[in-house]
Amino acid sequence: MVSSVVHIGCGAGFSGDRVDAAIPVVATLAKKEGPKYLIFETLAERTLALAQKHRRKDPSHGYSPFLESYIRPILKKCHECGIKIVSNFGAANPKGGAIKIAEIAKETGCNDIKIAIVEGDDLLQIMSGADIQNHPTIEGLDIGDNEVLAANAYLGARPIAEALQKGADVVVVGRCTDPALVLGPLIKEFSWAENDWSKLAAGTMAGHLLECGGQVTGAYFADPGYKDVPNLANVGFPLAEVKSDGTLIITKAENTGGLVSAQTVKEQLLYEIHDPENYYTADVILDISKVEVTEVGLDRVEVSGANGKPRPDTLKATVSIDGGWMGEAEMSYAGPNALKRARLAIDVLKSRYRDIGTNYPIRFDILGTMSVHSGDNEDITSSHSYPEDGDYRIRVATCGHEKEVIERINQEVLSLYCSGPAAGGGFRQHLTDQVQTASILVDREKIRPKVNFLTGNV
Amino acid sequence: MSKQVENVRLHEIAHARAGDKGNRSNISLIPYNPAIYDCLLDQITEARVLDLFKKKGASKVTRYELPNLPALNFVIDDVLEGGVNSALNLDQHGKTLSFFLLTLLVKVPADLYKSKKN
């Protein structure tokens, strides 16, 4: 029997999102009739390369480091209430993630839990690094002959639907399109055909609206006096109610803060969208150019009018290569004449860096004047007027492949303590291991997703 | 009959959100009052937005129109100074850029502006 409404909640919108946000979502889902799902989206572009590094160090690692903190508080309740969990927290090691979940299931008394693993996104399993390097880049850097740290295709919703069809309670995916986490359950429940483009488009739009968690329910939104959000500290994460015809309502967890309004939904609808008529995914090309957004009740917004076009013949893949090091160092100057002292500190550093003779790019900021909105080479303090007295902080940022050079650039900021202008204080520095990414297109036929179930005792 | 016009910052009449992909940013621009959409359409042109972001290396701006919402979507190429993996800017994603767009000035009929402010 085809269900009339499918309820899907989102428990995390990025790797690092709140670990307790899923609890009220699960409490809300538990009261619903019919099929119920909880998704976690935890895999940004760079996350996979870092996960791959972890896996190389220890083959049992490489899944999301947040997996346990997301799963442990809600697994038992989900299992008791028939809420299926779908997530890409498998990262570079979906099987390792599944084993971890099985351990948590055992510890929390969830018996007979079926955990599915979706694999097949890892290009390094099916082609050589050289083959990958030969693909032209569509976005990001040229790969050149740099060593490929990770290369993963964005899988679509079909293997997720297959896993659910086979009875999975939890589906652990590596790289897939974010909306596939939502579209997969909808395909399973409604048996939408592979070429039913308008329905697939509606399901993809539902996924797009849910995938960033609180970003559709008042988070990343509040602007006091203009866009006020009640109880942002406890913002409720979203739920979607989807019908078999693709009708979609966005709402949020009960007894939480935040809000769902036409405004919050419009902002998220266009988030990370380029051409609204052509949002490419593995399952369908989504067209949101005719979408309408209507408030139909308190914290309830109907979203309609998604159109779909046939899916592309290629899948997007993200390739990660070593990006060298990034150095950042900061020092504060405050009180009378602070701006002039901060500027003098930067003049001193520029002179020192000329003497060192580095050709690495170096950016200078004075925090407290315009910084994030300024260009790398913009001289802010000459073109704008800021108070001479104040609380300013200089920041130096650089990147390159020689760690010693980066360390030397940072160290020059440290040396301002004793050798710079008067009363510099509060030095901090960072040295960050960088990963660069590029996007390529891969022939869909080459990618063969596989669904397996975790078997045996863990 | 001459209509009274006010020169206001975009922030007074519209909201915006920035997203990133590679070295490209997209910023949505959504009027609080749908009746103001035409003012945005007339005045917030690709050229003006490119001019605003040129200092950050922007090379091209494409504006998409969504009259049903209503909203505009600006796609700004090369504005992220390398993007999330290599920008030296503190804000590597360009998440704060939506509020830089909202600093642009726009002329709006006083009655529409007031209707938003009640």
**A265: chain B residues, CB-CB within 8 Å:** none
Among partner residues A220, A361, A437, which is closest to B85 by beta-carbon distance? A437
Compare CB distances from B90 to A361, A372, A436 and report the shortest one's residue: A372
Residue A446 is classified by DSSP as G
Confidence of residue A56 (pLDDT cuts 50, 70, 90): confident
* Of the listed ranges A37-46, A245-254, B40-49, the one predicted with least confidence: A37-46
Token pair in block for residue A208: 């797009």
Predicted pLDDT of residue B117: 45
Domain-ending residue, one of A312, A341, A369: A312
CB contact B19 to A (< 8 Å): yes
CA distance B24 to A8: 31
Q: What ipTM is given for this predicted complex?
A: 0.95
Residue A349 sits in the same domain as residue A281: no
Contact B55 A270 (CB under 8 A): no
Comparing A189 with B112, the larger pLDDT belongs to A189
Q: What is the pLDDT at residue A307? A: 98
Q: What is the pLDDT of residue A349?
A: 97
Structure tokens at A300: 């309830």
Q: Report angle CA B55, B56, B59 to the nearest 5 degrees.
A: 90
Residue A318 lies in a domain: no
Q: Do A228 and A365 belong to one domain?
A: no
CA distance A65 to A42: 10
Backbone angles phi, psi at A95, to 5 degrees: -65, -40
Q: What is the pLDDT of residue B3?
A: 74
A431: three-class secondary structure by DSSP: strand
Residue contact A372–B91, C-beta within 8 A: yes
Please report whether residue A129 resides in a domain: no
* Predicted local confidence at residue B115, as pLDDT: 53
Q: Domain check: are A387 and A258 in the same one?
A: no
Backbone angles phi, psi at A324, to 5 degrees: 75, -145
Closest Cα of chain B to A21: distance in Å? 22
Say which residue, A392 or A139, is predicted with more confidence.
A392
Q: Determine which of A223, A263, A270 to mutate to test the interface with B (most B C-beta atoms within 10 Å).
A: A270
pLDDT value at A212 more than 50: yes
Given a cut of 80, is residue A452 above it in pLDDT? yes
Q: Per mean pLDDT, which range of A118-127, A138-147, A226-235, A339-348 is the poorest?
A: A138-147
Contacts of B11 in chain A (CB under 8 A): 226
Q: CA of A440, closest CA in chain B: separation in Å?
A: 12
Percent over 90 (pLDDT), chain A: 87
Pair (A259, A382) in one structural domain: no
What pLDDT does residue A458 have? Answer: 46
Residues of chain B in contact with residue A371, where contact means CB-CB under 8 angstroms, are 90
B96 touches chain A (CB under 8 A): yes
**Are residues A260 and A386 both part of a single domain?**
no
Q: Please check whether residue A340 lies inside any domain of the structure.
A: yes
At residue A442, the 3 state secondary structure works out as strand
Q: Does B28 touch chain A (CB under 8 A)?
A: yes
Residues A210 and A330 occupy one common structural domain: no
Q: Which range (A5-14, A221-230, A238-247, B81-90) has the least confidence?
A: B81-90
CA distance A274 to B28: 10
Q: Which amino acid is at B117?
A: K
A286 and A394 share a domain?
no
Count, residues in chain A? 458
Q: Which residue has the higher pLDDT, A136 or B85?
A: A136
> Do A71 and A166 fall within a single domain?
yes
Residues A398-412 have pLDDT tens digits of: 999 999 999 999 999
B26 touches chain A (CB under 8 A): yes
Q: What's the confidence (pLDDT) of residue B118? A: 40
Describe chain B by its helix, strand, coil percentages, rounded to 5. 30, 35, 35
Residue pLDDT, tens place only, A3-13: 699 999 999 99
Q: Locate the chain A residue with the closest alpha carbon to B94.
A: A372
Q: Tell me if B85 and A378 make a contact (CB, 8 A cut-off).
A: no
What is the CATH number for A387? 3.30.70
CB pairs under 8 A between A and B: 122
A139 touching B (Cβ < 8 Å): yes
pLDDT at A64 over 90: yes
Distance between CA A285 and CA A290 in Å, rounded?
14
Contact flag A375-B30 (C-beta cutoff 8 Å):
no
- The range of the structural domain enclosing residue A414 comes to 323-434
Q: Which helix (H) or strand (E) holds A48?
A: helix A47-57
Residues A250 and A349 in one domain: no
Q: Answer with the one of A245, A277, A312 that is the final residue of a domain.
A: A312
SS3 A117: strand
Each residue's pLDDT tens digit, A299-319? 999 999 999 999 999 999 999
pLDDT at position A52, please? 83
Name the residue with tokens 């030296």: B88
Give the per-residue pLDDT at B81. Answer: 87
Is residue A454 domain-resident? no
Domain end call among A263, A283, A312? A312
Structural domain including B110 reads 5-117
Partners of residue A141 in chain B, C-beta under 8 Å:
86
Q: Kindly indicate the confidence band of residue A265, based on its pLDDT and cuts at 50, 70 and 90.
A: very high
Say yes or no to pLDDT of A457 above 50: no
Q: Which has the higher per-residue pLDDT, A458 or B46? A: B46
Tell me: do A339 and A294 sit in the same domain: no
What is the pLDDT at residue A350? 97
Which of B33, B89, B101, B102 best probes binding to A when mutated, by most A CB atoms within 10 angstroms?
B89
pLDDT for A383 equals 64
The beta-carbon neighbor of B100 closest among A269, A361, A373 is: A373
B 50-89: CB under 8 A from A: 55-57, 62, 64, 66, 68-69, 71, 73, 75, 81, 83-86, 88-89
- pLDDT tens for A385-437 read 899 999 999 999 999 999 999 999 999 999 999 999 999 999 999 999 888 88
Are residues A23 and A88 located together in one domain of the fold? yes
**Percent of chain B having pLDDT more than 90?**
80
Say yes or no for a CB contact (<8 Å) between B66 and A397: no
Write down the mean pLDDT value for chain A. 94
Calpha distance A166→B46 (Å, rounded):
50
What is the domain count for chain B?
1
Would you state the pLDDT for residue A456?
55
What is the enclosing helix (H) or strand (E) of A456? none
A187 in any annotated domain: yes
A74 and A211 share one domain: yes
Map residue A230 onto helix, strand or coil. Answer: coil
Domain count for chain A, please give it.
Answer: 2
